[in-house]
Amino acid sequence: MDLQGKRILVTGADGFIGSHLVEALVAQGYQVRAFVHYNSFNRWGWLDDSTDEVKQSIEVVAGDIRDPFFVRHAVQDCSVIFHLAALIAIPYSYLAPHDYVDTNVKGTVNVLQAAKDLAVEKVIHTSTSEVYGTAQFVPITEDHPLQGQSPYSASKISADQMVISFYNAYQLPVCIARPFNTYGPRQSARAVIPTIISQIANGQKNIQLGATSPTRDFNFIADTVAGFIAMAEADTVMGETINLGSNYEVSIGDTAQTIARLLGADITITTDEQRLRPEKSEVNRLWACNQKAQKLLDWRPEYGSIEGFSRGLQQTIQWFTLPENLSSYKSCRYNL
């Protein structure tokens, strides 16, 4: 699918992945409408940190993904939708599960219904590796069973199933991007890599973490964004779900030690009880099989393997340790 000349809507454009995706689309000369969450300060989230060239090149609409009327307004005249708007913090989902249903499930239905009614040519919906729960086999393929081990993951499973239902019932041209643990500059303070970097960069020697034995498949932001764009351009992905992962597994504890080494710090790790998930809710192992992405998208992560992970971490550390960025992260507090 040739994206040139088509208006592209990015929901959640003010967030971590969304802002990087908007910048990449603009860099490739695409016409972008950025859907950001309405606020009375007229702030565009991380898009406020984009270059003037990017900000002048995009159309920004501020609203709420939970409002079907505004969503329809945002979708009007768009040919392609990248749907990223979601609540993503797992700990907060234990406290506010209704919000996750309203935003992640009903918000997705709003996008799908508008796309159907307005004859959108393609919708790329954002899933998450959390829908797999603790791996029953590795590496995890797209056929792995889905397990709702937190209200967050349950809401994303529900949203994914709504996407599939619109494909089956209405032939809506949709596909599902399932990124594994994306990291990089601008990531939320609730994620583990920013948690580790910000604590060390602020001079803390005793690093407060939750469980350190679980493993993750960390995917650098540039690779995730490249995967999203490849899905939009591909003609072979309608109705498909595709993992975007590095095919490299590393524990949280080893990740912390790698970051400490790159920062030249000597650290000890202490378990902070409030950071632990309920026992049956912890996802103990995630490791992506990315063969389907290679086959259908010709996508391969440039930051896979231990060497690529170190390069991605170095770029992430470089951004987080700039004083103007580090000051935005409250390393002394646990972020839900």
Burial annotation 119-133 (CB, 10 A radius, 16+ → b, else e): ebebbbbbbbbbbbb
| pLDDT number for residue 333 | 83
- pLDDT at 336 exceeding the cut of 90: no
pLDDT of residue 245: 98
In degrees and rounded to multiples of 5, residue 48 shows phi and psi of -60, -25
Mean local confidence (pLDDT), 277-288: 97
Which of the four pLDDT bands, split at 50, 70 and 90, describes residue 330?
confident
Does the pLDDT of residue 331 top 90, yes or no?
A: no
pTM of the model: 0.97
- Report the chain's mean pLDDT, rounded to a whole number: 97
Separation CA 134–CA 280 (nearest Å): 10
Q: Is residue 189 over pLDDT 90?
A: no
Give the tens place of pLDDT for each residue, 233-270.
999 999 999 999 999 999 999 999 999 999 999 999 99
pLDDT digits (tens, 9 = 90+) for 144-172: 999 999 999 999 999 999 999 999 999 99
**pLDDT, tens only, 24-49:** 999 999 999 999 999 999 999 999 99
Q: Which of 152, 183, 303, 329 is catalytic?
A: 152
pLDDT at 334: 85
How sure is the predictor about 92, in pLDDT bands with cuts at 50, 70 and 90? very high
Instruction: Please give the pLDDT value at position 335.
Output: 77
Give the integer Cα–Cα distance in Å for 189 and 256. 15
Delimit the domains of the chain by residue range.
7-183+219-244
> E strands, 236-301, where?
241-244, 250-251, 268-271
pLDDT digits (tens, 9 = 90+) for 202-226: 999 999 999 999 999 999 999 999 9
pLDDT 10s digits, 38-80: 999 999 999 999 999 999 999 999 999 999 999 999 999 999 9
For 83, 99, 105, 128, the CA distances from 158, given in Å and listed in that order, are 15, 14, 6, 12
132 tagged catalytic: no
pLDDT, position 66:
98
Inter-residue contact 171 to 113 (CB < 8 Å): no
Q: Dihedral (C-alpha) 29, 34, 40, 41: value to the nearest 10 degrees?
A: -30
Other Cβ atoms within 10 Å of 62 Cβ, number: 16
Whole-number Å distance between alpha carbons of 177 and 114? 20
149 touches 216 (CB < 8 A): no
Q: What is the pLDDT of residue 27?
A: 98
- Could you report the per-residue pLDDT of 97-131, keeping only the tens digit for each? 999 999 999 999 999 999 999 999 999 999 999 99
The confidence score (pLDDT) of residue 60 equals: 98
H or E segment at 115? helix 107-117
C-alpha span between 168 and 162 (Å, rounded) = 10
Q: Reply yes or no on whether the pLDDT at 308 is more than 80.
A: yes
At 184, the amino acid letter reads G
Q: Which long-range contacts (CB under 8 A, 24 or more apart) does 129-134 make?
A: 129/178, 129/179, 129/180, 129/181, 129/217, 129/243, 129/245, 129/286, 129/288, 130/90, 130/156, 130/283, 131/156, 131/157, 131/160, 131/178, 132/283, 132/286, 133/283, 134/282, 134/283, 134/284, 134/285
Residue 46 contacts residue 14 (beta carbons within 8 Å)? yes
Checking if the pLDDT of 275 tops 80, the result is: yes
Q: Whole-angstrom Cα distance, residue 56 to residue 15?
A: 18
Give CATH for domain 7-183+219-244. Answer: 3.40.50.720
Separation between Cα atoms, residue 283 and residue 26, nearest integer Å: 36
- Predicted local confidence at residue 215, as pLDDT: 98
